Amino acid sequence: NADLDIVTQQTEESKRVAEVLDGLKLGPFNSETSSQDDNIAYIKKLPTVLTNAEIDTDIILGEGTFKSAYAFRDNPNLIFLALQENEETQILTEEIRMLGELNKLGVKTPKFYRKASFTPGGGLIERHGLIVQRITEAKDIKLNEEIDENTRLSQEVLDYSNQKTLRDIKRLQQVFAHNPDLTVDDFQGIIDQDGQLYIIDPIDVGNTSEYTLDYSTNHELNLFNLMW
């Protein structure tokens, strides 16, 4: 009976999670390219509940407090961001909201495609997550840490940087200049092999004046110093 109660509880929770995720308006934030069309066509063929047949759980591409990133076996351009067990789906809602707000302001972010569930090993526990664009061989860059003439970026970041990087940095500067009350907690990004800069995984995105000096002004200054 105890086992049956657990399964029943998990089933009810799965239904509640599905209802929450169904309310999310997911889709690519930026204009589609031919590769994005290929991704969309691939995703449409996927089952609603993913298994190890689609997701490679042998290698974790990245792992944080709330989510783990896994590769798709048949598509190197996508990842599955899976919530850790027992984490609230509100985390997904907030991440989509925050990156969506930044994207509307002109900030480049990875594309989110759709919701999905995942049952590792075909078990009863269902983990919920999002199918997201994979930025391959990307290098991390912390933008909330102080950057000045004495700060040296990693050689890997410098090797990836080019005119596209400068263009993206200037765009970010303009975003903060035109939105002086914008705050981004844990401001960080990745630079791909092509030199494009994406903003990822903020803890919070807001539009208040209370912390503008601490956050927004420092972000703009750090972005300016990145170009020198």
Write out pLDDT tens, residues 93-152: 898 899 899 999 999 999 989 889 999 876 778 899 999 999 988 888 877 655 555 555
Q: Mean pLDDT in the chain?
A: 78
Length of the chain: 228
pTM: 0.73
Phi and psi (nearest 5°) for 184? -130, 110
**Do 52 and 121 meet the contact criterion of CB atoms below 8 Å apart?**
yes
pLDDT value of residue 148: 55
pLDDT value of residue 34: 58
Name the residue with higher pLDDT: 208 or 193: 193
DSSP state of 84: P
Name the residue with higher pLDDT: 150 or 191: 191
Name the residue with higher pLDDT: 212 or 126: 126
Write out pLDDT tens, residues 46-104: 998 999 999 998 989 988 888 999 999 999 999 999 998 888 888 888 988 998 999 99
Name the residue with higher pLDDT: 30 or 203: 203
DSSP state of 120: G
For residues 210-227, average pLDDT? 51
**Do 119 and 51 meet the contact criterion of CB atoms below 8 Å apart?**
yes
Fold of 32-133: Phosphorylase Kinase; domain 1 (3.30.200)
Give start-end residues of each CATH 3.30.200.20 domain in the chain.
32-133
pLDDT value of residue 19: 46
